[in-house]
C-alpha cells in the first residue's frame, strides 16, 4: 500500500490539472509513444493481460471486449464512452471528467488505436453541463496540439472525438440503450446478440467503455500490464475510485488499489457510521443486492469478495445505512426509482416495477398482510432474466435481498387481518 501511486486521481489536487499545458507538464499523453510503437493487436494483448475490468458495473474484462471487434469488415468501428453516470449512489465519473478530461481523451486514443476506430463519441449525461464544457474545451485544445485529429503526433493515426449530451434517462447507461440514444432515438435497449462489438452504433462494430475503464488504460500502456496486475488483488488488479455516501461522517471518494476491507473503508475513510451502528451496505450502486452489517465483516472492495457474498462490485460506490434506517422505506425509494426509469419496452419490467412499487406503498400504509411480501418475492423472480436488458433484474436484486434480509422491517407494517385486495393502479 505504501508505494501506491494514484493513477486516476493524480491530478485532482493539481491546480488547472484539466488544462492541456498542466496535463503535459505532469506526464500527460506520455503513453502515446509506447502506444504507437506497438501494433493494435499488441495493445489489446497488453490490456488483456493487465486484467483491467470494465468499471461501469458489469466488470467485463476490457481487453477481451476489444478483441471481439471484427477486423476488415469494411465498416467503420466506433468507440463510445459511457459517461451517463446515473446509478444511484454513484458519483465519481463526474469528477474524472471535470478534473482530468485529458486523461480520458488519452484513454480514448489508446482504445481507438487498439480497435481501429477513427470516430469516438463521449455520451455524457445531460445534467453534467460543466463536464461537457470541460470536455469540449479539452478536445479543442488537444486537436490544436496534434493529440487528436489527423495524423496524431506523426503516427499516421486519425481520430475525431465528439461529445454527445444525454437528456435524463437512466436506461441510457445500459450500453445498447445508450447506442439507441446516440442514434437519436428513445433509449430502449436492444436484444443481444448481436453484441455491440459486432453490430453497434449505426450498424457498425462498436465498443462501449466506461470513463474510468478508459482512464485506466494510459497507465497500463505506459507502465506495462505486469506492473498494473501487481497492484490490487489477483482477480481485481489495479486501482479504482471508491465512493461512500449515506450514513458516514465523511462522504466522498478515494482512489486506492482493490482489496481494502469494507469495514476499514467505512472506519478509516468514512470516519465511521453516522447516527448509530451499521445496519446495511449497498456495495456498488442501487442495483446490487444489499448486505447486512454481519456480511460486511469479511467483505473486501474487490470483484471476487463481492461475488462470494452474493452481491456485485457494481460501480464501487457504497451506500451506508445506520441501525435506525427503515429498510421498507428505502426499498420503496428504489421501487419508485425503477418504476420511474423503466423504459417500458418489456412487460415483466414495466408492469413488475410498478406492481412492486404499488404493493410496497400499500404495505407502508398499513393496508397489507405479510403474505404480500411473498408476492413481492414472486414478482421479483418473474422479473429476473426475462427481459431484453438487466434493468429488470436490477430491481429484482434489491427487492429480494431487502425483504429476505430485513423482513422484520417490512412485517412491522403488515396487518394479519388485512384482506388482500388488488392495489389501486396509480
For another protein, the binding residue among 48, 91, 98, 272 (CB under 8 A) is 91
- Burial (CB count within 10 angstroms: exposed 0-12, middle 13-18, buried 19+), residue 18: buried
What's the closest the beta carbon of residue 97 comes to another protein, in angstroms? 11
> Is 272 a residue that touches another protein (CB under 8 A)?
no
What phi and psi, each to the nearest 5 degrees, are found at residue 300?
A: -120, 160
Q: Using the Cα atoms of residue 44, residue 50, residue 55 and residue 57 in order, give the sign of their dihedral.
A: positive
What's the closest the beta carbon of residue 36 comes to another protein, in angstroms? 25
Of 124-163, which residues contact another protein (CB under 8 A)? Answer: 125-129, 160, 162
Nearby residues of 143 by Cβ (< 8 Å), 6 or more positions away: 149
CB-nearer residue toward another protein: 68 or 162: 162
CB-nearer residue toward another protein: 234 or 249: 249
Rg from Cα positions in the chain: 22
For another protein, the binding residue among 79, 80, 321, 354 (CB under 8 A) is 321
Helices (H), 170-231: 175-182, 211-223, 225-229
> Is 183 a residue that touches another protein (CB under 8 A)?
yes
What's the closest the beta carbon of residue 368 comes to another protein, in angstroms? 22
> Is 334 a residue that touches another protein (CB under 8 A)?
yes
For another protein, the binding residue among 7, 9, 50, 90 (CB under 8 A) is 90
CB-nearer residue toward another protein: 4 or 202: 202
Q: Which of 234, 245, 239, 244 is nearest to 215 (CA)?
A: 239
**Conformational region of residue 285, where left means phi above 0, alpha means psi within -120 to 50, and beta covers everything else:** left
Strand partners, 209: 81
Using the contact rule CB under 8 A, the part of the chain among 54-62, 85-93, 350-358, 400-408 near another protein is: 85-93
> Is 190 a residue that touches another protein (CB under 8 A)?
no
Nearby residues of 193 by Cβ (< 8 Å), 6 or more positions away: none
Residues that bind another protein in the complex, under the rule CB under 8 A = 76, 85-91, 93-94, 121, 125-129, 160, 162, 164-170, 181-187, 202, 243-247, 251-253, 282, 286, 317, 319, 321, 325, 330, 333-334, 337, 340-341, 343
Amino acid at each position: 500500500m505504501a508505494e501506491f501511486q494514484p493513477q486516476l486521481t493524480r491530478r485532482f489536487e493539481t491546480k488547472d490539472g484539466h488544462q492541456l499545458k498542466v496535463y503535459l507538464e505532469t506526464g500527460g499523453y506520455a503513453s502515446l509513444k509506447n502506444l504507437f510503437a506497438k501494433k493494435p493487436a499488441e495493445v489489446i494483448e497488453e490490456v488483456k493481460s493487465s486484467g483491467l475490468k470494465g468499471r461501469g458495473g458489469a466488470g467485463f474484462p476490457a481487453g477481451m471486449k476489444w478483441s471481439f471487434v471484427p477486423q476488415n469488415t469494411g465498416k467503420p468501428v466506433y468507440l463510445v464512452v459511457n459517461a451517463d453516470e446515473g446509478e444511484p449512489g454513484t458519483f465519481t465519473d463526474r469528477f474524472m471528467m471535470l478534473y482530468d478530461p485529458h486523461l480520458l481523451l488519452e484513454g480514448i486514443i489508446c482504445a481507438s488505436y487498439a480497435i481501429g476506430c477513427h470516430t469516438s463519441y463521449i455520451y455524457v449525461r445531460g445534467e453534467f453541463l460543466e463536464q461537457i464544457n470541460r470536455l469540449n474545451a479539452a478536445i479543442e485544445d488537444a486537436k490544436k496540439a496534434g493529440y487528436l485529429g489527423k495524423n496524431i503526433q506523426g503516427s499516421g493515426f486519425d481520430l475525431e472525438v465528439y461529445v454527445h449530451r444525454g437528456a435524463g434517462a437512466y436506461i441510457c447507461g445500459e450500453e445498447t440503450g445508450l447506442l439507441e440514444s446516440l442514434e437519436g432515438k428513445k433509449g430502449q435497449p436492444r436484444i443481444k446478440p448481436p453484441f455491440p462489438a459486432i453490430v453497434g452504433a449505426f450498424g457498425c462494430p462498436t465498443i462501449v467503455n466506461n470513463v474510468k475503464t478508459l482512464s485506466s488504460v494510459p497507465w497500463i500502456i505506459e507502465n506495462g500490464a505486469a506492473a498494473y496486475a501487481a497492484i490490487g488483488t489477483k482477480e481485481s488488479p489495479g486501482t479504482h475510485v471508491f465512493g461512500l455516501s449515506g450514513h458516514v461522517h465523511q462522504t466522498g471518494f478515494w482512489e486506492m488499489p482493490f482489496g481494502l476491507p469494507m469495514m476499514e473503508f467505512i472506519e478509516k475513510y468514512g470516519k465511521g457510521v453516522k447516527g448509530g451502528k451499521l445496519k446495511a451496505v449497498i456495495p456498488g450502486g442501487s442495483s446490487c443486492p444489499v448486505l447486512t452489517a454481519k456480511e460486511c465483516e469479511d467483505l473486501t472492495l474487490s470483484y471476487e469478495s463481492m461475488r462470494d457474498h452474493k452481491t456485485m462490485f457494481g460501480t464501487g460506490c457504497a451506500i451506508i445505512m445506520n441501525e435506525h434506517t427503515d429498510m421498507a422505506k428505502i426499498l420503496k425509494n428504489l421501487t419508485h426509482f425503477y418504476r420511474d426509469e423503466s423504459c417500458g419496452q418489456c412487460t415483466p419490467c414495466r408492469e413488475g416495477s410498478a406492481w412492486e412499487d404499488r404493493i410496497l406503498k400499500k404495505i407502508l400504509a398499513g393496508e397489507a398482510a405479510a403474505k404480500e411480501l411473498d408476492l413481492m418475492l414472486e414478482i421479483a423472480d418473474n422479473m429476473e432474466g426475462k427481459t431484453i436488458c438487466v434493468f429488470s433484474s436490477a430491481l429484482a436484486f434489491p427487492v429480494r435481498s431487502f425483504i429476505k434480509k430485513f423482513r422484520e422491517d417490512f412485517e412491522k407494517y403488515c396487518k394479519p387481518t388485512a384482506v388482500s385486495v388488488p392495489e389501486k393502479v396509480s
